[in-house]
Amino acid sequence: MKTINKIRLELADWLYNAGIVGVANILDANDVAYKRGINYIEFEETALENFEEKYFKYFIDKYKKFTSWYNIVKYEDVILNFKEENVDEEYLENINKQIDYVKEKLKSASYKSAYVIIQNKEKDLLKEEKQLNKIKKNKKQKVEDVLPNIKEQLNRMQQIIEYLKTDEVAKIILAKNIIYDIIAKFWSDVSFLNKNNNKKNMYEEYRIYFVDGTLQYIEKIIEKAKYKCFVCDRKISKLSKPVSYDLTWINKMGVDMSRKTSHFWDLSGDTFICPICNFVYSCIPAGFTVIKGQGLFINQNSSINNLIAVNKHALERNTTFEELEDASYFSIVENINQNKVEQLDKEIENIQIIKLDSTNVVRPYTFNILSKDKLKVMNGNKKMLQSMIKVKVKVGTKEYLNLYKEVVTRLYEGKNQFDLINQLFHLRLDKKFNKLHFIDMIIKINNNFIGGREKKKMVHHKVINDCKGFGLDLRISYVNKKAENKLNGISYRLLNALKTKNTSKFMDTLLNAYMYLNKQVPTIFIEGLKDTDKFQTLGYAFLLGLQGEEMKENKKDDIKEDMING
């Protein structure tokens, strides 16, 4: 009986790890069992049977909705729901736009190269393309006059869609889409990405180049072989394909890769890797998540489970890269096991965040480090941060501020939030923002952040709440005195004093405000006079209370929102 070989892939540098996550993702998507160790995955060689199918299935499942194939096919809804009475100028314009799009795609090089591969020749899409034409209507004509033509063109499109939806056609065209949109951002030159193989079946090409060699290799690893794989140290007997491979086909890795701590090479071509590693590298695109040419991989390598979990993303058609990033940061924090707080220090490692920008030919990859300290703050403020996800604040006619992003970015960059808090207050005073409880959260998160760096700069939460209370009291007194109209002016002056960290200007305004009421000034502020961070925390908390009334009004909506986000 033949023994079944096992393949173990151990974590290494980020690039290799992306490949391992890719392999795991592909296996997961195809319900293939494999073992997850702490720092490795292990699977039987049978997992590689039909791996080419599994490989493309993974990408197609994940990215289908982003492809041109999908853009063409999803129009079926419109066609099937077509009703003559709904047709108007706008509707016609929409159809024509779609016709343009379909024509452009059908005659594109990528589609043309797919036609050659497709066995099902039932339809000639190039001919179909020529027959599909925009609906022309002169000025004298009404929409009704061109109805027959509309129906005809929609019918043509429907025929095309039906053909595109057949299994084989979909499989090939989607694979072409995926290769172009995703895989080619990471590697080139070999297998189906070799120019000579453009018109060959990509599934075949993948199997031949990446899978067959691996299977042959694991059948007989020669322990006495002369050479070693640069990445995994497995023995290799020859420095030529299909026994060993170079790394020149992997797209530029950027400057950071030359650091000696990383498993790295000089890309000169004399570095050789075994077929297994070659296979792993082919799965890098499946380890990243890519949206519109931008890719993200988070090298949280404290364990395989974490690594796979933080890189798992459910994408929607309209998911933006920014949202993807936000969600990832959040899932990093989610993945920190916080059952045992005392273990937090051990458990949190610095985490590398690798971003791919495929439009940057010279340095497509950029690297960021998420430090322990920052993660701790994130972890400690998880709930508040979570409620900010998807909260957008309008700051210009078309400009929006993504609150979560703003806060998290500052935390990651080790900056305080005072500028953001100030900006939000300005928007609030200009009546462009009223979700005051978010300002409250940001003040508290920021206070925790400041306290995390220097304990004595932190203000007790009770003191923050007291300051808010004083602000609210002052507001109520002004309202009772029918002097509510003065509050905006006071708020603006306080806000400007806080922005410039001018304590005397702040106290001046405060004293004036209290004097007007013949009331004492809360001495709580004296504590803040000794430290600008404290001063700002207390000052903004007071200012928040001073806006009090609206805070209550909005409470209901806010709770609802939190529930949606939470």
Partner 1 sequence: MRLKCEYKTKEIPVGYNMLLVSLIKEALKKSDENYFNKLYKYDENIANKRSKNFTFAAYIKNYERAEEIFKVNDRVILNISSPDLEFMINLYNGLLKLSKFQYKTFELYKLKIDLIKEKKLATNEVIFKTLSPICIKNKNNYFMKIEDDKYIDELNYIANLVLKNYRGEGLRENLMFMPLDMKKVVVKEEIRGFKSKTNRKYLYVNSYSGTFKMKGNVKDLEDLYALGVGFKRNQGFGMIEVIG
Using CB under 8 A as the criterion, which residues of the chain lie in contact with partner 1 when the complex forms? 503-504, 507-508, 511-512, 514-515, 518-521, 523, 525-526, 529
> How far apart, in whole angstroms, are the C-alpha atoms of residue 325 and residue 290?
11
- The piece of 200-208, 244-252, 266-274, 459-467 that touches Zn ion (CB under 5 A) is 266-274
3-state secondary structure of 252: coil
Backbone angles phi, psi at 295, to 5 degrees: -120, 155
Contacts 24+ apart (CB under 8 A), 117-123: 117/172, 117/199, 117/200, 117/201, 117/202, 118/168, 118/169, 118/172, 118/173, 119/168, 120/163, 120/166, 120/168, 120/169, 122/163, 122/166, 123/159, 123/160, 123/163
CA angle 98, 99, 102 (to 5 degrees): 85
3 binds, among partner 1, Zn ion, none (CB under 5 to 8 A by kind): none
449 vs 525, which CB is nearer to partner 1?
A: 525
Q: How far is the CB of 229 from Zn ion (least distance, A)?
A: 3
Does 236 help bind Zn ion (rule: CB under 5 A)? no
Q: How far is the CB of 511 from partner 1 (least distance, A)?
A: 6
Q: How far is the CB of 521 from partner 1 (least distance, A)?
A: 5
Q: How far is the CB of 514 from partner 1 (least distance, A)?
A: 8
Burial of 91 per CB tally in 10 Å (0-12, 13-18, 19+): middle
232 vs 427, which CB is nearer to Zn ion?
A: 232
259 vs 519, which CB is nearer to partner 1?
A: 519
Secondary structure percentages of the chain, helix, strand, coil, to 5? 60, 10, 30
Residue 250's beta-bridge partner residues?
Answer: 187
Strands 392-394 and 6-10 turn out to be: unpaired
215 vs 529, which CB is nearer to partner 1?
A: 529
523 binds, among partner 1, Zn ion, none (CB under 5 to 8 A by kind): partner 1
Q: Which of 419, 395, 396, 399 is nearest to 409 (CA)?
A: 419
Q: How far is the CB of 495 from partner 1 (least distance, A)?
A: 18
The amino acid occupying position 303 is S
Strands 289-291 and 235-236 turn out to be: unpaired
Q: How far is the CB of 533 from partner 1 (least distance, A)?
A: 17
> How far apart, in whole angstroms, are the C-alpha atoms of residue 160 and residue 251?
36
Q: How far is the CB of 478 from partner 1 (least distance, A)?
A: 17
229 binds, among partner 1, Zn ion, none (CB under 5 to 8 A by kind): Zn ion
Q: How far is the CB of 313 from Zn ion (least distance, A)?
A: 28
The amino acid occupying position 193 is L
521 binds, among partner 1, Zn ion, none (CB under 5 to 8 A by kind): partner 1
Q: Which of 21, 157, 178, 277 binds Zn ion (CB under 5 A)?
A: 277
Q: How far is the CB of 546 from partner 1 (least distance, A)?
A: 18
Residue that is written with structure tokens 């405060």 in the block: 510
105 vs 234, which CB is nearer to Zn ion?
A: 234
The DSSP 8-state label assigned to residue 105 in this structure reads: H
- The piece of 197-205, 221-229, 299-307, 322-330 that touches Zn ion (CB under 5 A) is 221-229
6 vs 486, which CB is nearer to Zn ion?
A: 6
476 binds, among partner 1, Zn ion, none (CB under 5 to 8 A by kind): none
Does 7 help bind Zn ion (rule: CB under 5 A)? no
529 binds, among Zn ion, partner 1, none (CB under 5 to 8 A by kind): partner 1
> DSSP readout, 532-566?
HHHHHHHHHHHHHHHTHHHHHHTHHHHHHHHHHH-
Question: Which residue ranges make up the site for Zn ion (CB under 5 A)?
Answer: 229, 231-232, 234, 274, 277
